[in-house]
Each structure stands twice: as C-alpha cells, then as structure tokens.
Structure 1
C-alpha cells in the first residue's frame, strides 16, 4: 500500500473508534456513530481500503486497546454487540464494492450503495446478539426479543444517518474528484 492509503486506512479506523464514544446508551445496544464512519470508509476508500480500515479498528480493539463502546480485548467477542463490529467490516466492503460500480455519485445512487451496507450490519449484528444472549449468557430470549433490543429502536435513525451520509458524500465526492483525490485508490470495475 502507498503511504496515502495507509494514512486513509488509519484515519477511518480512528474515526470509527471516535464514533464508538459518541453514543446514546440503550438497554443492551447503545446508539453510536460508528456506522457513519464505516459507511464513509466504504464510500471514500472503496472496498479494499474500507475493509482494511474496519479490520484495523476491530483488530486494535481485540488486542486490548479500549476503542469499543465497552472497552476492548480478546474477550470482547463474548459481548453481545460484537456482531455489529463484524458487520462494520462487511458493511464497508459491501458499500465499497457497490461504489466501485457507480457511474454517477448522486444522492440516490449513493443511498443505493449505503443501505445494503446497513442491512449487512443488522444481518450480522442481530443474530450474534441473539446467540450470545441466549446460549452464552443463558438469557431466556427469543429472536424477536433480540430484534427489539438490537434492530427496531435503531433502524429509523440509521436510515436517516444513511441519508445524511449519502447527501454529504454526493456533495464531497465532486470536490475530491476535481482535486484528483477521489478514486486514485479505488480500482474501477468494468
């Protein structure tokens, strides 16, 4: 990787960590801004560097640096919300994959890339939440209860955040393209 790519990967890993501490507490799952920075990583870095930025973030947390909402360390994989962190890795990759296939970067074209990434976060996060609560912590919980804790309270806010991300990106990308910074690191797919 080039120096600029390394800096961008580190920057978005750091921004995702900062997003963990901008939060509104919830009964099981807090509402944070990690998803926003994860989505921007996918949009602005593409699938490869977006993936690396989120892998770096999760890796730093797993080695013990307290960058997650409740700390860090290898035992964090047993925290019910760890599945959302795994979802962020896939989210940035999916968004980046879809961005690389875009011809135009309008609000709606970007939103069509961001919403599947959000879906991936929930498709990984909610089942992980359910499994850890039910089988590791032995809580009497149904999958619908897991949805009540980890999906229903957050989906509207996350869709609104997705719209904000798409709107901001639709305004920023043209400036980055004019300056020669956008897609210098994204390999266009035919």
Structure 2
C-alpha cells in the first residue's frame, strides 16, 4: 500500500476512533419479529471505539492502524477530551488507560494479520480477534503494573475485580463488534479489490 493511501486510512481510523468513543454499540431484534414486537434495540455495553481500531487495521493495514491510534493517544493526552472520560496527561492514572495503549499494538496486529492472508471471513475474523486480545493483554498488564507502582487514581477493588470489570464484562459486546467488523471489512475489501 502506498504512503499516501496509508496516511488516508490513518486519518480515517483516527476520525472513526474519536467518533466511535461517543457512540454506544447496540443490536436490534430480528426483522421477522418486528411485526409482533416492533423494533427493539439492546445495548452491548461498549462503544464503537474497538470497531474503529479493528476496521482501520483490516482495511488500511498495520501502518495505518498504528499511526491512527498513536495520533488518537497523542491528541487525547495533550489537549482534546476525546477519551471516554475526558483527556489530558492525567488520564495515564486511569485504570482504563492501558486499554487505550493497547489500541496501538492491537491495530498493528490486526492490520498485520489481515494482509498476510487472502481476505476471507476466517482470516479477517482471526485478525480482529487477535487485535482484540492484544488490546486486552496490554490493558491487563497496564492495570497490574500501575497497581503495583501505585499510580492509579481509582484503585477500588482487587486486580481480579478490575480485570473482570474492564476486560471480561465488555468482552462479549466487543466480540459481537469484532464479528460485525469482520463482515464489513470482508465486503469492503472485495469492493475495493484488495
């Protein structure tokens, strides 16, 4: 992929990540029940942030994914309130900051795997799940190190309770989003012929 194309995908990924931070992910009941129940939506308990991270990796590749998430972190840590609970350098003391750090290698892993194999549903699903697991691995590691170092502002509960809260509880919704990103990326990659 050419450098200008990677930069364009990085910009798209940055915009999607910022926008996805503030959009709650939800699912709708199946169409054949609409006549009897109407349309019912149910929250997945997560935002579309993860979708943006994985989508830019699947469509723009590892470099675009890496650049978009580095830019997201830089903007959020310096002066824009683009993280879920604000922004600024003090955010490094938040227990969720490690997951934001995980966006960088997560997007890189997803993008790297997405372009190593032909764009099939299975390979794109593997890319998305690998990127998601990378995000959680970095997030959990950051939680453990930050708790040990004593620089977290909110340390209520044990490490296990925080891992449950920040990793295991949102994981089902994030896996549903990874499935949707897989299908969307598959269709878009076929449409764009790469």
User: In structure 2, how many angstroms separate the alpha carbons of the residues matched to 1:153 and 1:119?
Assistant: 14
Asked if 1:79 is matched to 2:80, the reply is no
Contact map agreement 2:121 2:186 (CA 8 A) in 1: yes
CA gap of 1:146–1:114, structure 2 versus 1, over 3 A, is same
Post-superposition Cα deviations, 1:85-117, rounded to whole Å, max 9, x if no partner, equal: 111111110011111211x21211110111111
Structure 1 length normalisation: TM-score?
0.82
Distance 1:69 1:139, change over 3 A: closer
Aligned residues: 172
Residues 136-178 of structure 1, C-alpha deviation per residue, up to 9 Å, x if partnerless?
Answer: 337353222122211221111111111111111111111111x
The two structures have a TM-score, normalised by structure 2, of: 0.80
The 2-side partners of 1:68 and 1:138 are apart by 16
Structure having the larger proportion of residues in strand: 2
User: Is 2:131 the counterpart of 1:117?
Assistant: yes
Report the counterpart of residue 42 of structure 2 in structure 1: none
Q: Cα 1:73–1:167, aligned 2, differ >3 Å: closer, same or farther?
A: same
2:122 aligned residue: 108
The CA RMSD measured in Å over matched residues stands at 2.0
Q: Per the alignment, in what secondary structure is the counterpart of residue 79 of structure 2?
A: coil
Q: Which stretch of the first structure deviates more once superposed, 167-176 or 127-136?
A: 127-136
Residue 66 of structure 2: aligned partner: 51
Which structure 1 residue ranges, 5 or more long, are not aligned? 25-29, 183-190
